[in-house]
Amino acid sequence: MTTLVYGLAVAGRSTAKFLAARGEPLLLADDRVSTDNAEFAASLGAELVEGPEAAMACAKRIADFSQVAPSPGVPESHPIIASALRAHIELVSEIELAYRAEQASGRPRPIVAITGTDGKTTTTLMAAAMLSASGRNAAAVGNTETPWVEALDDQHDVYAVECSSFRLHYTHDFRAEAATWLNLAPDHLDWHRNMDSYRGAKMRIWQSAGASDVAVAPANDEVILDSARSTNARVVTFGMTKADYRIEGQALVGPLGRIVDVGQLGRSLPHDLTNALAASAMVLESGLGTVEGVANALARYRHAPHRIQFVGEVDGVSYYNDSKATSPHAAQAALTSFEHIVLIAGGKNKGLELSTLASQPHRMRAVVAIGQSATLIENAFADVCPVTRADSMTDAVRAAQRLATVGDVVLLSPGCTSYDWYSNYGERGDDFTQCVHALTKENQI
């Protein structure tokens, strides 16, 4: 029987290469026609179906497939998903395939897993750094730059797996020694059929947990806590106060006492602290790391680009790049971090309610609306503060400069994806950074 790999972006290609290396017969498919796809399929000796009729062509052959491995970019409303479900063909994600391969190896390595609406990547990278500082050969995989299937043949002895809802949605056996669900807010409703589907995908991170496993949950979220308590796992909480892992006396502490002083951290915004507490809980409660390793990792940790990243100061105004904030909920971390903000927001919406971006009216000096969602941004802030439109990032930065006064922060925290103007959020953040640097150079002339 053959595996259908549908969608040939990064994760899809990694999945195809992984299966081909193990002798699995493949059919590759993609809704787009691309010479790169044809070359990739030829390199694997696999048949390729592509273009607008690809789903229909694959549906006619659905009984030939033992399983369908959709890439994360294939939404659950896609016709190929409906075809597989009707035919009772198993749908499996990249992390499910990697997990099964690990278990079949006879030497499965331990796993910590992370999901949530926001903070997944940071917490995954923190956890991997903590494990490495504790003397382990750790890898951050999954929804990171490295799909898990690409790292299976490397000499790692523990994995930190970032689990997006897209990957969790098609898991069945996947489990981790310790797993955290950081938070929950509406997101990816252009992929999931509804909020129940999105919530259900997140819940799957604990679905196979056993009594020896640990579920790390936020102390202030009853929905997530109830989900954790409904599993077989031991539940441990994190939060700023009144949690097993918390902030006390200007230090991160756990059940065994002080972990590290807040002042030793490279950055200590509220979400930085809760991410650090969740990662600490997973690593320590699983027994995979040491307090010394966790403390050293947190003291050395530096945040990835495009996440409330300081870019520069021009005429007494600070500029921050938070391009990674592709939903209103993600933008809240930055919006609550500064007192006086000129916000640059907009882009391609994911079917979310953008009015929640205006939840901090007392902080808003002005807003610059950009991209496809500019009208929605204007409507959201109509009764809050002055709003102007910009048709490019250069125009947006210059408009923000005019609106800002000394002591303000110009913040790119779009609340939307970048796919109207850019290929990804990194490209958007880089453009913003270049525009700010251009202002800096002008001031030096």
Closest to 295 in 3D by CA, of 279, 272, 317: 279
**290 and 329 together in one domain:** no
Q: What is the mean pLDDT of residues 418-422?
A: 97
**228 and 159 together in one domain:** yes
Beta bridge partners of 245: 238
Q: Which helix (H) or strand (E) holds 379?
A: helix 374-381
Chain-centroid distance, C-alpha 275: 13
Inform me whether the pLDDT recorded for 433 exceeds 80: yes
**331 and 295 together in one domain:** no
Which pLDDT value is given to residue 64? Answer: 96
Closest to 284 in 3D by CA, of 304, 318, 259: 259
User: What is the pLDDT confidence band of residue 445, given thresholds at 50, 70 and 90?
Assistant: low
DSSP labels, 206-235 = GTT--TTSEEEEETT-HHHHHHHHTSSSEE
Q: What is the pLDDT of residues 108-146, one digit of tens each?
A: 999 999 999 999 999 999 999 999 999 999 999 999 889
Mean pLDDT of the chain: 96
- Please tell me the distance from the alpha carbon of residue 48 to that of residue 285, in angstroms, as a whole number: 46
**37 and 61 together in one domain:** yes
**145 and 6 together in one domain:** no
Q: Answer whether 267's CB lies under 8 Å from 301's CB.
A: no
Inform me whether the pLDDT recorded for 413 exceeds 80: yes
**72 and 144 together in one domain:** no
Q: Answer whether 413's CB lies under 8 Å from 334's CB.
A: yes
CATH for 151: 3.40.1190.10
- Please tell me the distance from the alpha carbon of residue 413 to that of residue 244, in angstroms, as a whole number: 32
- Single out the residue in 243, 273, 300 at which a domain terminates: 300
CATH for 334: 3.90.190.20
Which pLDDT value is given to residue 181? Answer: 98
**59 and 116 together in one domain:** no
Q: What is the mean pLDDT of residues 269-289?
A: 97
**69 and 147 together in one domain:** no
